[in-house]
Amino acid sequence: MHWTTVAVLVIGCLLFLAGYLRLITDDKGHVHLNNYRLTGGLGKVLTGFGIGLRELLAREWTDESLSAALMLGGGFFAALDIMVAARR
């Protein structure tokens, strides 16, 4: 694997992680770990991603839409990296 492939994959993972962490924090920036012990806040993340995606399509910039954009960008970079690596 070339270093550019690894760098693109790391960038994609960091973007996705930043969007995920923005969705599971409360208004003060705290993460209540007891609520996310088993599921990792999957319901809240999927709901926030759906709301953010709807707001992105409506061209409204809110916290959820920014998180959805980060997660989409991270997924795009990771998928692009996997496709490029599979062709080698």
Residues 7-47: pLDDT tens digits? 888 888 898 888 888 888 877 878 777 766 767 678 888 88
Helix ranges restricted to H, the chain: 3-24, 42-57, 63-87
Does residue 60 carry a pLDDT above 80? Answer: yes
Cα–Cα separations (whole angstroms), residue 13 to 26, 49, 74: 22, 16, 6
Residue 33: inside a domain? no
Rounded (10°) angle between helices 42-57 and 63-87: 100
Q: What is the mean pLDDT of residues 55-82?
A: 90
What whole-number distance in Å separates Cα of residue 57 and Cα of residue 37? 32
Q: What is the DSSP letter of 1?
A: -
Does residue 63 carry a pLDDT above 80? Answer: yes
Tell me, what's the pLDDT at 70? 92
Does residue 59 carry a pLDDT above 90? Answer: yes
Residue 88: inside a domain? yes
Number of domains in the chain: 1
Supply the range of the domain harboring residue 73: 48-88
Residue 36: inside a domain? no
Residue 38: inside a domain? no
Q: Are 39 and 46 in contact (CB under 8 A)?
A: no
Residue 73: inside a domain? yes
Residue 18: inside a domain? no
Residue 53: inside a domain? yes
